[in-house]
Amino acid sequence: MPENPPDFPKSRLSRCVAPVSGRLNRAGALGVFAGLLWLPQAGLVAWLFAGLLDGTAGSQRAALAAAGFAALGALRAAMLALSDRWLAEAAQSVLTGERRHLLEREGRRSPMAPGPGSAELAALAGEKLAALEPYILRYRPAFLRARALPLAILAVAFWKSWVVAAILLIAGPLIPVFMALVGMAAQEASERQMREVGTLNGMLLERLQALVDIRLLDAGARVAADFETRAESLRERTMAVLRVAFLSSTVLELFSALGVALVAVYVGFALLGTLGFGAWATPLTAGEGVFLLLLAPEFFQPLRDLAAAWHDRAAAMAVAGELAAAEAEAPVTILGQGAAVAAVKPAPGAPAISLRNVQVALGEQTRLDFPDFDIFAGESCALTGPSGQGKSTLLAALAGLVPAQGRIEVAGGVLDDARADGWRMAVGWVPQQPHFSAGSLRANLRLAAPEAGEAEIARALRLARAEDIVARLPRGLATRVGETGAGLSGGEARRLMVARAALGQARVVLADEPTANLDAETARAVTDGLLALAAAGATLVVATHDPALVARMGREIPLGGAA
């Protein structure tokens, strides 16, 4: 979206609320109408006090005025509640839409590409996006009321007394000027604060995941102190935002309080006859005085509401800015949608994978070239080379997890968006750093084969030589595994990944350093498992520098060096 940078957050924010703008305007109009009901309420009160002063008020007028005041007040409350309801619904639908949008985009970001951390993204999708809620609930209706209500009240006041109208007019318009100044400062401060919230969460998440290391290094007190410093800095930033917000509403309250005071003083003097000007033909009556006094606070109230909601706007603006920034750079995405489709299986005897002039760019500095080669279906081969030559990146490219230049063909067709999903359904992936999602070990194993029964799971575990791991876990397959498989050793986690590939009946297995964590005996067992998959017809590609593993593969494809 090529827009001017200063406009960025603003236009992004209006894009956020565009789908619900109709409902927002209706709610705003109802709020304005409810506000106007104050005029007849004030009129009734003034009418009663005028009668009390000149002695013309009977018990009927008292009852009528009080009952009318109460009835109009109840109607006003009901209308505001209805308006709030529309606003709440609109806010929730905006939140839901934005969250979906963000997850869909970030979920397809290539795992190999640099990008914001998961915790930071979750913070953006969660509590940061929630900042749009007060903007919609409070700022938008306050903005509409501030545009309409003061003008209406000013007109009615002018009809009764031009001096009162002049007082309101002078105190009123100064307010937007102050607020514009204050608002600009508030937005900047609140942008800083939002950034800090994201980093603080990311930092904390990492410290917590490293708690064991921190204990071993006796760094607990230091980490706590370090965190305290960060938390303190967050508090200072929050206070900076609040101070500006409070200042803006204080300026406003000052003007509105002085406005009300001036109206009261002017009306008082006019009634005493000290000031003979200001009203039209006849001198101001006491009833009119009461009416004007009741109008004065309501003239300022919408402006005060707007000021109170100003930092809601600033916070929403900051979030919109972050959304716009996240969308500005096109993410390096995986190929395909990651949807469940029919598997694209390589035909026996034909090349399962072939590479021609392939290059992968990760960020600006890292650019990796790979040699041309073909891997035939049913073959087992090792991609070898010293650390840092891009073995893992190549495996990811073969799986369509990172886009590559040049030509990668899989199962007889070019690996592109259309083909990637089906291809991956045929691939079993054994990553270097296993990730376990929340839930039981059973659920994790069945990810690629949701219908698999206990017997099939047992078979897959046996194939990967991983039965003993499950037998040792206190709750077996029902054990809840941690985020990165905490509680399991590195070797155990890897073997469970091989079991998962076996359970998914993968036709092609891509394994990144499958023997790296294992002792010779277990490494041999896992290699046996991988080769058992290969013997059943699966194509096997491992990235490794383990000579024992290389020796057992059908072929070695060296990467790097001169290639």
Partner 1 sequence: MRPLARIFALIWRTERWSLLRGIALSIVVLLMGVSLLGLSGWFIIAAGAAGLAGAGAIFNVFGPSAGVRFLALGRTAARYGERLLTHDATLKALAALRVRLLTGFAAAPFPVMQRFRGAQVLNRLTSDIDALDGVALRLVIPLLAGGATLALAWGMLALLVDPRVAAWSVLSLTVGAALALAWSARRSARPSRRAEAAAQAFRTRAIDHLRGRAMLAFAGQLESSATHVLQADARGRASRLALARIERRSGAMISVAATLSAAGALYLGAELTRAGAMSPALAALGFFATLALAEAVGPLRRAMGELGGMRDAARRVTHWLPQDRAEPRGRGAPLAGAALRVIDLSIANGPDSPGLTKGLTFTLAPGEIVAVTGASGAGKTTLLNTIAGLLPPRAGEIRLSERPLADWSEPGLRAHLGYLPQRAALIGGTIAENLRLAAPDASPDRLETVLEAVALGPVIEAMGGLEARLGEGGRGLSGGESRRLALARTLLRRPALLLLDEPTEGLDRATARSVLAGLRAYCPEATILLAAHRAVERDWAARELPLDGSAGCGT
Q: Give the whole-angstrom CA distance, residue 174 versus residue 462.
A: 79
Options 9-17, 65-73, 347-355, 451-459: segment touching partner 1 (CB under 8 A)? 65-73
Q: Specify the residue, 260 or 317, whose C-beta has the smaller distance to partner 1.
A: 260
Ranges within 440-499 binding partner 1 (CB under 8 A): 447-448, 468-469, 472, 474, 480, 482-484, 486-487, 489-492, 495
Instruction: Give the residue among 540, 357, 341 at the shortest CA–CA distance from 423.
Output: 341
Task: Give the shortest CB-10-to-partner 1 separation in angstroms.
Answer: 26
Give the side-chain half-sphere CA count within 13 A for 64.
Answer: 13
Options 160-168, 239-247, 404-412, 451-459: segment touching partner 1 (CB under 8 A)? 239-247
Options 52-60, 160-168, 177-185, 188-196: segment touching partner 1 (CB under 8 A)? 52-60
- Number of Cβ within 10 Å of residue 96's Cβ equals 11
User: Are the beta carbons of 133 and 91 closer than 8 angstroms?
Assistant: yes
For position 324 contacting partner 1 by CB under 8 A, the verdict is no
Single out the residue of 169, 234, 325, 361 in contact with partner 1 (rule: CB under 8 A): 234
Ranges within 340-359 binding partner 1 (CB under 8 A): 340-341
Q: Give the whole-angstrom CA distance, residue 469 versus residue 481.
A: 12
3-state secondary structure 207-232: HHHCHHHHHHCCCHHHHHHHHHHHHH
Ranges within 272-291 binding partner 1 (CB under 8 A): 272-274, 285-286, 289-290
Ranges within 67-106 binding partner 1 (CB under 8 A): 67, 69-70, 73-74, 76-78, 80-81, 84-85, 88-89, 92, 95-96, 99-100, 103-104, 106
Single out the residue of 196, 312, 322, 421 in contact with partner 1 (rule: CB under 8 A): 421
Task: Give the shortest CB-487-to-partner 1 separation in angstroms.
Answer: 6
Binding mask 519-538 for partner 1 (x = CB under 8 A): xxxxx---------------
Task: Return phi, psi of residue 424, to 5°.
Answer: -65, -30
Ranges within 194-233 binding partner 1 (CB under 8 A): 200-220, 222-224, 227-228, 231-232
Counting every residue written for the chain, the total comes to 563
- Number of Cβ within 10 Å of residue 17's Cβ equals 19
* H/E stretch holding 557: strand 555-558
Q: Are strands 539-543 and 508-512 parallel, antiparallel or unpaired?
A: parallel
Q: Specify the residue, 241 or 355, whose C-beta has the smaller distance to partner 1.
A: 241
Options 6-14, 344-352, 372-380, 425-433: segment touching partner 1 (CB under 8 A)? 425-433
Tokens of 234: 């967050």
Options 41-49, 173-181, 310-318, 532-540: segment touching partner 1 (CB under 8 A)? 41-49
Single out the residue of 65, 154, 358, 368 in contact with partner 1 (rule: CB under 8 A): 65
Residues 6+ apart with CB under 8 A from 493: 434, 436, 484, 485, 517
Task: Give the shortest CB-465-to-partner 1 separation in angstroms.
Answer: 9
CA 29 to chain centre: 30
Ranges within 103-122 binding partner 1 (CB under 8 A): 103-104, 106-109, 111, 114, 117-119, 121-122
Residue type present at position 521 = E
Task: Give the shortest CB-124-to-partner 1 separation in angstroms.
Answer: 10
User: Are the beta carbons of 355 and 531 closer than 8 angstroms?
Assistant: no
Give the side-chain half-sphere CA count within 13 A for 500.
Answer: 27
Binding mask 240-269 for partner 1 (x = CB under 8 A): --xx--xx--x--xx--xx-xx--xx-xxx
Residue 539 bridge partners (DSSP): 508
Look-up of token digits 């991609």? 383
Q: Specify the residue, 10 or 36, whose C-beta has the smaller distance to partner 1.
A: 36
Ranges within 138-197 binding partner 1 (CB under 8 A): none
Tokens of 468: 């003993």
Q: Give the whole-angstrom CA distance, residue 365 versus residue 496.
A: 35
